[in-house]
Structure 1
Amino acid sequence: MILHAPWERNLGASRVQLELAEEFQAMGHEVEKFDFFDAFPPNKTPLIENLTRPKFSEKAKAFVQGNADRFDIIDAHQGDLPFSKQELGITGLLVARSVGLYAFYEEFTNLEKTKWPPKKKRTRIKNWLRYWESKQVNYECFRSLQTCDLVNLPNHDELNYVRDVLGLDHKSFVFPFGLSRQRQEAFAQVIQPATVRLNNQQVVFIGTWGTRKGSRDWAEIIKTVKAQVPDVRFLFLGTGFSAEFVLKDLNLTANESVEIIPQFTSDQLPNLLSGATVGAFPSYIEGFGFAVLEKLACGLPTVAYDVPGPREMLSHFEEQFMFAPGDSIGFSNQIIKLLTLDEIRYSQLSQQCVEVAQRFSWRKIAEETLKVYTEFLGKL
C-alpha cells in the first residue's frame, strides 16, 4: 500500500488503505505500506530542506525499484506512482487508487473561485500558487491512471468519468468504502431509543471546516432550522479549527445551541454520535464519505448534498435525503422534517439507516477487491 499521507486511522484518505490492509491480513495475506513518514521521517530539519526535498512520488518510485520482486500487488494512491511498470521494474499488478478523483476536486475548485471569490489579496495569491501546484498534481494523477494495470474507484460517478472522458473503463472498478464488523457493532451499541433521540433535538456534522464541506452554507441552515425548531442544537465534530474560529465564521457568538469539537479520535466517535437526532453533511464533493456512512451505522437519518460519494449510500432510501449542492433551504427543511417525526416513523428510518450501512462491509469489499486483483494478476 503506497500513500502520500501518514498511515493514520484518523485521516480519511489513509484510513481506506489501512483498514483494507487489516482485512487482507486477517485473510492470510502479507501487507506492507510506504507512507509519507517512510519517505520523509519526522525530524527537525531546516525549512529550506523541507521546501527543496524531492516529491513523494520520487521517493515512492525509489522504494518500489528497490523492492520490485517482493510484492505481487502494489496498491498506490492516484498520483503517487505516475510511472510505467518498466520504469518501476515491476512485473506484478499495479493499482492506482482513487479516494476522490482529482478531476472532480478540480471542478469544485473552479466552482469555488466563481461562487465565493476571495476578498483578501493574500488569499488570492495563495490560491494562484495552489492552482499552479495542482496542475502538476493533476497531471501525475492522470498519468498514474494511464500507466497502471487497474484503477480502483470509490463511486460510480467516477467510473462514468473514466469511461466517458478517459476511456479507461476496461480496467476500472468500483469498490466503495466500508466498516469492519467491530466498527458496525460499536455504533449499534450506542443507538438510543427514538424517544430519547427526538427529545435531544441535535443535528450533527462531521468534517473539516471549509468551503468544500459546506461551511458557507451552515449559517443559513442554522437560521432556517432554528426558526422552526427553536430548541435544536448543532454539533460540529472534527472541524480542525477552534470553536471561536467556527463561530466567527458563522457570525455567531458563543451559545448553547452550537457545540464545536475540533478534534476527536476514531474510537470516540460512536459515543459522540449517541445523543444526536439527525446527521447533516452539506459537502460539495467527496470520494465516498465516511462521515455519512458512520452516521448511518449509528442509526442517524442523514441529509446530504446530491454529489458523488454520498449518492452511493443515500440512493438506497425512498425518503429524500439528498438535495442539489447549495440548496440550503431544501436541505434545512428536510432536517426540520426529520427532527419533528413521530417515534414510529423515526424508528423505522433509523433501522433502515443501520441496514444500509451494513451493506458496506470491509470484509466483503476486501474479498471482492482481491477477487478482481487476482483475476488481473493472473492475466499478466
Structure 2
Amino acid sequence: MILHMNWNRNLGGSRVQLELADEFQAMGHEVEKFDYGDAFPTKGNLSILENLNRPSFSAKAKAFVQANAHRFDIIDAHQGNLPFTKQELGIKGLLVARSVGLYAFYDEFSQLEKIKWPPKKKRTQIKYWFNSWYSKRKNYEYLRSLQTCDLINVPNCDELAYIRDVLHLRNKCFAFPFGLSEPRQKAFSQAVQPATVRLANKQVVFIGTWCPRKGSREWGEIIQRLKAKVPDVRFLFLGTAFSAQTVLADLNLPADNSIEILPQFDSEELPKLLSGATVGAFPSYIEGFGFAVLEKLACGIPTVAYDVPGPREMLHHFDNDFMVAPGDIEGFSNQLANLLTLDEATYSQLSQRCIEVAQIFSWSRIAKDTLDVYTKFLAN
C-alpha cells in the first residue's frame, strides 16, 4: 500500500487502505505500506520553501518500489503516487492506482470555489494562485498514474463514468465503495439511543474538517434558518481541525450552549459521540465516498447531504429524499427540520433503515470483491 499521507486510522484518506489491509491480513495475505512518514521521516513543520525544494513523494515512492518491487505481487498506490511505467519501476506484478476522491473532481470544485466565494484578502488570493499552480503541476502525475497502471480502483459510480467517458480507460477501472468492519458496525449499532431520547435531544451532527468544500461558508445560514423552524435545535461539529473560536467566527455567531465544537477526536470515540444525535448534516460539495455519512447511518442517524459523488452511493438506497442540490441552503434546512420533527414511530423505522443501509457496506465483503478482481488481473 503506497500513500502520500500518514498511515493513520483517524485520517479518511489513509483509513481506506489501512482497513483494507486489516481485512487482507485476516484472509492470510501479507501487507506492507510506504507512506508520507516513511518518505519524509522529518520532525517538525517545514517551511514552504523547504517543501518546494525537497524531492516529491512520487520520487521517493519510485525509489522504494524500484528497490522492493520484487517482493510484492500487488502494489496498490494512491493516484499520482507512481506516475511511471511498470518498466521504469521494475514491477512484474499488478500495479493499481487508487482513488479516494478523483483529482479531476476536486480540481473542478477548486474552480467553483473561486467563482462562488471570490477571495477578498490578498493572502487568500496568493493562496488560490499557489494552489492553482501546484494543481497544474500535480495533474500530470495524477493522469499519468492512471494511464500507466494495470487497474484503477475508484470509490463511486460517478468516478467510474468519468474514467470511462472522459479518460477512455473503462476496461481497467472498477468501483469499490468504502466500508466498515464488523466490530465497528456493531459498536455503532450498540450506541443507538431510543427514538424518544434522540427526538427530545434535537441535535444536528456534522463530521468533517471545517473548510468551504464541506460547507463552512454555508453553515451560518443553515443554522439561522433551522433555528427559525426548530427553536430548540442543537448542533454538534466533530473533527473540525479548527478551534471553536475559529468556527464561531466563520459562522458569525456568538458562543452559546446550542453549538458544541470538538476539533479532534479519536476514531474509537465516535460511536459514543454520535449516540444522542438526532439527524446528520453533510453539506459537502465533493467526496470520494464519505465516511462521515456512512458512520452516521451505521449509528441509526438519518442524514441529509448534498447530491454529489460519494454520499449518493449510500443515500440513493432510501425512499426518503435525503439529498438536495449542492448549495440549496433552504432545501437543506427544510429537510433537517422535517427529520427533527418526525413522530416517534416514523423516526424509529427510519433509524433502523439507516443501520440496514450501512450494513451493505461491509469491509470484509468489499475486500473479498476487490481481491477477486486483483487476482483476475494478476493472472493476466
Superposition TM-score tier, normalisation by shorter sequence: over 0.9
Find the aligned partners of 1:3 and 1:252 in 2 and give their Cα distance: 38
Cα offset for 1:130? 1.1
Q: Secondary structure at the match of 2:77?
A: strand
Find the aligned partners of 1:347 and 1:238 in 2 and give their Cα distance: 27
Q: Secondary structure at the match of 1:152?
A: strand
Give 1:364's aligned amino acid. Answer: R
Find the aligned partners of 1:166 and 1:160 in 2 and give their Cα distance: 9
Give 2:132's aligned amino acid. Answer: Y
Cα shift readout 1:94-151 (whole Å, capped 9, x = no counterpart): 0000000000001100100001011001110111011011111111011000000000
Find the aligned partners of 1:5 and 1:211 in 2 and give their Cα distance: 21
Residue 24 (structure 1) aligns with: 24
Q: Secondary structure at the match of 1:167?
A: coil
Find the aligned partners of 1:319 and 1:175 in 2 and give their Cα distance: 24
Residue 35 (structure 2) aligns with: 35
Structure 2 residue 357 is matched with structure 1 residue 356: yes
Cα shift readout 1:249-296 (whole Å, capped 9, x = no counterpart): 001011011111000010011010001000000000000000000000
Give 1:338's aligned amino acid. Answer: L
The 1:72–1:190 alpha-carbon spacing in structure 2 relative to 1, beyond 3 Å, is: same
Cα offset for 1:43? 2.8
Residue 275 (structure 1) aligns with: 276
Find the aligned partners of 1:15 and 1:342 in 2 and give their Cα distance: 37
Structure 2 residue 133 is matched with structure 1 residue 132: yes
Find the aligned partners of 1:317 and 1:139 in 2 and give their Cα distance: 39
Find the aligned partners of 1:45 and 1:148 in 2 and give their Cα distance: 33
Give 1:71's aligned amino acid. Answer: F
Find the aligned partners of 1:125 and 1:228 in 2 and give their Cα distance: 40
Give 2:121's aligned amino acid. Answer: K
Residue 76 (structure 1) aligns with: 77
- Computed over aligned residues only, the root mean square deviation of the Cα atoms, in angstroms, reads 1.0
Q: Secondary structure at the match of 1:61?
A: helix
Residue 256 (structure 1) aligns with: 257
Find the aligned partners of 2:42 and 2:335 in 1 and give their Cα distance: 46
The 1:46–1:328 alpha-carbon spacing in structure 2 relative to 1, beyond 3 Å, is: closer
Find the aligned partners of 1:49 and 1:287 in 2 and give their Cα distance: 30
Find the aligned partners of 2:251 and 2:12 in 1 and give their Cα distance: 25
Residue 218 (structure 1) aligns with: 219
Find the aligned partners of 1:343 and 1:45 in 2 and give their Cα distance: 51
Question: Which of 351-360 and 122-131 deviates more?
Answer: 122-131
The 1:46–1:151 alpha-carbon spacing in structure 2 relative to 1, beyond 3 Å, is: closer
Residue 325 (structure 1) aligns with: 326
TM-score by length of 2: 0.98
Find the aligned partners of 1:149 and 1:231 in 2 and give their Cα distance: 54
Find the aligned partners of 2:83 and 2:149 in 1 and give their Cα distance: 8
Residue 178 (structure 2) aligns with: 177
Cα offset for 1:44? 5.4
Cα offset for 1:45? 8.6
Cα offset for 1:46? 7.2
Q: Secondary structure at the match of 1:117?
A: coil
- Structure 2 residues not aligned, in runs of 5+: none
Question: Which of 339-348 and 39-48 deviates more?
Answer: 39-48
Q: Secondary structure at the match of 1:141?
A: helix
Cα shift readout 1:37-64 (whole Å, capped 9, x = no counterpart): 1001133597565442100000000000
Identity of aligned residues (%): 74
Find the aligned partners of 1:54 and 1:160 in 2 and give their Cα distance: 34
Find the aligned partners of 2:9 and 2:71 in 1 and give their Cα distance: 26
Q: Secondary structure at the match of 1:254?
A: coil
Structure 2 residue 64 is matched with structure 1 residue 63: yes
Q: Secondary structure at the match of 2:204?
A: strand
Find the aligned partners of 2:172 and 2:109 in 1 and give their Cα distance: 26
The 1:68–1:314 alpha-carbon spacing in structure 2 relative to 1, beyond 3 Å, is: same
- Equivalences for residues 290-369 of structure 1 within 5 A: 290-369=291-370
Find the aligned partners of 1:90 and 1:174 in 2 and give their Cα distance: 24
Find the aligned partners of 2:307 and 2:348 in 1 and give their Cα distance: 24
Find the aligned partners of 2:131 and 2:112 in 1 and give their Cα distance: 15
Q: Secondary structure at the match of 2:104?
A: helix
Give 1:115's aligned amino acid. Answer: K
Cα shift readout 1:56-101 (whole Å, capped 9, x = no counterpart): 0000000000012100000000000000000001110000000000
Following superposition, which runs of at least 4 residues in structure 1 exceed 2 angstroms of deviation?
Answer: 42-51
Find the aligned partners of 2:45 and 2:260 in 1 and give their Cα distance: 38
Find the aligned partners of 1:190 and 1:278 in 2 and give their Cα distance: 14
Find the aligned partners of 1:42 and 1:344 in 2 and give their Cα distance: 55
Question: Which of 130-139 and 16-25 deviates more?
Answer: 130-139
Find the aligned partners of 1:51 and 1:135 in 2 and give their Cα distance: 15
